[in-house]
Structure 1
Amino acid sequence: MGLERLREELQRTGIPVEHLAPEKKRVYLVGGCIRDALLGRHIVDFDFVVEDSGINYAEDLARKVGGRFVPLKLDEGRVVYKRSLVLDFSGLGTRKIEDDLRDRDFTINAMAVELQDLLHARWRILDPCSGMEDLSSKVIRTVAEDSLVKDPVRLLRAFRFASELDFVIEGNTMNALKLHRDLIRGVAGERISYELKLILQSDASWKQVDEMGEVSLLVTLFPELREMDTLLPEIELLTHSIASLRELEGLLSGTRESIDRLKPWSASYFHWKHRKPLLKLATLLHDIGKPNTLSSDKKGRVHFYGHDMLGEKLLHPILKERLRLSNAEVEAITRLVRYHMRPHLLGREEELTPRAMRRFFADLEEEWVGVLLLAYADALASENGDVSNLESLITQLVEFKEETEKKGKVERLIDGSDLIGELQLEPGPIFRKILERVEEEQLEGKVRTKEEALELVREMLKQGEG
């Protein structure tokens, strides 16, 4: 039974029982750890509800076991034990445990077990909201009608749990999500991005993203997407973006010969735990610049020239100010969007030159794997789904990358100090452009000495390239 494993996990923490569950005070395990134990999932941390004051209880426990006490909001405290184990405590005050459970977000998170019962193998679950029934039926249901109003981040948490657990959000809850969708505007950006990244971590998050679109929560979070959905009747850009996300997730979990060639590089690319959700978010937003770049030629063909560059510009304030993402996260997403058309353009070239391939890797840096995956998914989700050019491109790029890695990096003929000392240039972004050009000429055998490199730079400056 799940509760047996929960007891084992609790005992494995090494915290003495007499400190954790004194006989004279009622202490309850609640929420996610009960849910995950019953589902046989890995238990990440433990949430407790105690009689009287939660913050006093947590502070006293931290002192007894040598843990670190962290005060949280209101009457809530946290104990961090042996650096990684997290135990959160909230107080009941004058309320009963059933009152606390009825104040929670979803029925599957509104169950509790009294700690003394658990430790003495009395398998009794307090379940006033029928959470076990919904757990068995794989359903996400709000505890009460005003659940979403009490904490609007729950609008996203509904989709997060559906995504993580592969559950279905029941009809009345979906209606409530649509009714209260505007409340998400008042939620802090950090909380929104945290939930979004958790949603996108799952292998088939496109389903929840699509449902977020159905209840208009997606366009409430990103009003820019509304323009994509209403631009032209025959061009369903938002539908295409969600389809691109679906195809990307298929690529990440499935097998394609050309994509398999990326696997040796994908392992290091996805080593950063946020890489996958960031790539997915970039895929969802990759065409955000299209509504403002719409044009048509004399034959009536529609074009979106420059939508990749405009998309990068539009995304900066969205990611940084609205979602409060880190600089590294913003850089990753905007670079993917800025260059998502490059593979399509290179794939149409009759001959792929070494210089073009070097430029590709120099511009993308570590995001080269991600942009190839994004472009491939983008092509699969297009009207004809033709990826033949991209398959050939990936093969050539990977072979070039492998050969380049074998040769190792060339020793630079000049560096920034030479540009300052020899040419009296002021340090700035121009240095990178100059040094990359010199390296390209060096790799092609056109520049072999320091003097030749400096002469190349002088010529570049004379022609206004620097």
Structure 2
Amino acid sequence: MIRLNRNIFPAVEGIYVVGGAIRDELLGRKPADYDIACAVDTEKTALQIAANTNGVLVKIGKPGQFIFRVVSGKNIFDLADLNGQTIEEDLEQRDFTINAMAYSISGGDIIDCTGGLKDLEKKNIRMVSKEAFKKDPLRLLRAFRIGAAFNFKIEPATLKEIENNAGLIVNSAGERVRVELLKLMDALKSYQYISEMADTGLLLVIFPELGRLRGCEQNRYHIYDVFEHTMSSFYHLEMLINAADSLNITRSARNALFADKKKIALLKLAILLHDTGKPASRTIDKKGDYHFYGHAAAGADMSKKICDRLKMSSREKCFIDFIIRNHLRPLSLFTLHLETKLTRKAVTRFFRKCRDYSPYILLHSIADSQAKGDKSDDAFKNFITDLMDDYFAVFKILKRKPPLITGHDLINEFGIKPSPLFRKVLNYVEDARLSKEISDKASALRLAEEFIDR
């Protein structure tokens, strides 16, 4: 049922709400964005909608492809000329049938010439025509993104056409690909669609670096090659995200960990790329065992180039780079723990080094471990979840408190001048404070003196 407020629109023939807004209305969702196709004066229509909604009108695009955008509160109305002589011609040039329906403002009826209503009922993603992907190759990726958003299946003929045209995605602008990818990663169940992207070849066209992981065998700790391990890591990460209660951490820690949806989407992308450095780093020893020394740094360097291709922001690049570059650190802590050599100070240094990235690296490490394929390592998972609780319940609270001493104290108490020594002393004392070895200024000054004199 369409529940549009028809008072927003001029009551004249030739104005149609089209695409995703109609799909969402039929699914019982409230759209925020409305695409409007006009067979009448588009600018005049936009001015009237702006007046009716107290909205602001802006003109975007270039001659022949102008869009008139009305922004009113949380709603956006994008108006464009009809693409063709009739609304049916316009709809037949769109991407998928569920997006190729229109609602006539004057008539109050749904126009469905491509079978969108039937596909919506069947939960199908189906191309409008075989030309859809040639007209806009980004639609290749959008099929999976929309499928993931609604948990719809991509019908076989459309999947086959995606496979046939996968190579065209390189003609899409990197920033457009990035937007679709992150929306896909934001879906609760994106693994199925990422897997289908791999089957069609589209994933490996977007990320050719992943193609080199196929057939790259690993050591005895893994039963999969690097590609299958990567896909399994993605699967396990998504399972952990969607079943947060399975993480034996406090509710407040869970809430804090999963509060930022964008970081969770970026974490999924990071785990997809985390082992891209393995093929170039693989060596074999005299016993026939494989090693991947330096693969984390190599993978981070490769991922930087991928992020550049996708025109990611500096913050997005830094997040992905840091996760990949440091994804082995939790395993090193666990090794120390097994050898009973792990100290409170070592844990504190990990948290200080990894800062706000700490819980995401820890979550990544659980999925990475579970994806080795032999068996679930409960000891490792329990160790990591204990670290998560420690980070939120102890470290973050202590970190908010001010340091016990500053550079002024070093000058006044010990007469030393500002130098690189300052940072070393202050870091040493801060590690002790955050490790709960000291808690007052007098103890901090004694520790500083010991460090300076040694």
If the length of structure 2 is used for normalisation, what is the TM-score? 0.87
SS in 2 for 1:204: coil
* 1:369 matched to 2:362: no
Q: Report the counterpart of residue 14 of structure 1 in structure 2.
A: none
Q: Report the counterpart of residue 437 of structure 1 in structure 2.
A: 428
* 1:198 matched to 2:183: yes
What are the Cα deviations for residues 60-103 of structure 1, in whole angstroms up to 9, with x where unaligned? 53256431112233132110013x21111111276110111001
Q: Percent identity?
A: 33
Following superposition, the deviation at residue 366 of structure 1 comes to 1.8
Q: Compared with structure 1, are the counterparts of its residues 176 and 77 closer, same or farther at alpha carbon in structure 2 (3 Å cutoff)?
A: same
Determine the C-alpha separation between the residues in 1 that align with 2:389 and 2:190.
32
* 1:37 matched to 2:31: no
Q: Report the counterpart of residue 250 of structure 1 in structure 2.
A: 239
Following superposition, the deviation at residue 451 of structure 1 comes to 5.5
Deviates more, 1:326-335 or 1:157-166: 326-335
| Contact kept? 2:84, 2:90, Cα under 8 Å | no
What are the Cα deviations for residues 168-214 of structure 1, in whole angstroms up to 9, with x where unaligned? 11222112212221221121221111100111111210111011111
| Contact kept? 2:248, 2:385, Cα under 8 Å | no
Q: Compared with structure 1, are the counterparts of its residues 389 and 297 closer, same or farther at alpha carbon in structure 2 (3 Å cutoff)?
A: farther
Determine the C-alpha separation between the residues in 1 that align with 2:333 and 2:377.
13
* 1:106 matched to 2:96: yes
Following superposition, the deviation at residue 224 of structure 1 comes to 0.9
Which of these residues, 60, 73, 76, is aligned with residue 86 of structure 1? 76
Letter in 1 for 2:101: M
Q: Report the counterpart of residue 294 of structure 2 in structure 1.
A: 306
Determine the C-alpha separation between the residues in 2 that align with 1:68 and 1:281.
36
Matches within 5 A, 1:440-455: 440-442=431-433, 443-445=436-438, 448=442, 452=446, 455=449
Q: Report the counterpart of residue 393 of structure 1 in structure 2.
A: 383
Q: Report the counterpart of residue 283 of structure 2 in structure 1.
A: 295
Matches within 5 A, 1:287-366: 287-319=275-307, 321-349=308-336, 350-351=339-340, 352-366=342-356
Determine the C-alpha separation between the residues in 2 that align with 1:431 and 1:223.
46
Q: Compared with structure 1, are the counterparts of its residues 72 and 290 closer, same or farther at alpha carbon in structure 2 (3 Å cutoff)?
A: same
What are the Cα deviations for residues 258-314 of structure 1, in whole angstroms up to 9, with x where unaligned? x13054223223333312211111111111111111012222111112211222222
Q: Report the counterpart of residue 26 of structure 1 in structure 2.
A: 14
Following superposition, the deviation at residue 152 of structure 1 comes to 1.1
Which of these residues, 164, 170, 173, is aligned with residue 149 of structure 2? 164
Determine the C-alpha separation between the residues in 1 that align with 2:251 and 2:228.
28
Following superposition, the deviation at residue 128 of structure 1 comes to 0.9
Determine the C-alpha separation between the residues in 1 that align with 2:253 and 2:327.
18
Determine the C-alpha separation between the residues in 1 that align with 2:397 and 2:51.
56
Determine the C-alpha separation between the residues in 1 that align with 2:126 and 2:80.
23
Following superposition, the deviation at residue 371 of structure 1 comes to 1.5
SS in 2 for 1:48: strand
| Contact kept? 1:77, 1:88, Cα under 8 Å | yes
* 1:239 matched to 2:233: no
If the length of structure 1 is used for normalisation, what is the TM-score? 0.85
| Contact kept? 1:266, 1:369, Cα under 8 Å | no
Q: Report the counterpart of residue 257 of structure 2 in structure 1.
A: 269
SS in 2 for 1:159: helix
Deviates more, 1:210-219 or 1:181-190: 181-190
Following superposition, the deviation at residue 434 of structure 1 comes to 5.8
Q: Compared with structure 1, are the counterparts of its residues 456 and 293 closer, same or farther at alpha carbon in structure 2 (3 Å cutoff)?
A: farther
Letter in 2 for 1:186: N
Letter in 2 for 1:325: M
| Contact kept? 1:262, 1:369, Cα under 8 Å | no
Determine the C-alpha separation between the residues in 2 that align with 1:334 and 1:108.
37
| Contact kept? 2:17, 2:35, Cα under 8 Å | yes
Unpaired stretches in structure 1, ≥5 consecutive residues: 12-16, 119-123, 461-466
Q: Compared with structure 1, are the counterparts of its residues 65 and 329 closer, same or farther at alpha carbon in structure 2 (3 Å cutoff)?
A: same
Determine the C-alpha separation between the residues in 2 that align with 1:378 and 1:391.
11
Following superposition, the deviation at residue 457 of structure 1 comes to 6.5
Determine the C-alpha separation between the residues in 2 that align with 1:93 and 1:138.
27
| Contact kept? 1:52, 1:94, Cα under 8 Å | no
SS in 2 for 1:116: coil
Determine the C-alpha separation between the residues in 2 that align with 1:330 and 1:253.
25
Q: Report the counterpart of residue 280 of structure 1 in structure 2.
A: 268
Determine the C-alpha separation between the residues in 1 that align with 2:53 and 2:396.
51
Q: Report the counterpart of residue 205 of structure 2 in structure 1.
A: 220
Determine the C-alpha separation between the residues in 2 that align with 1:328 and 1:431.
29
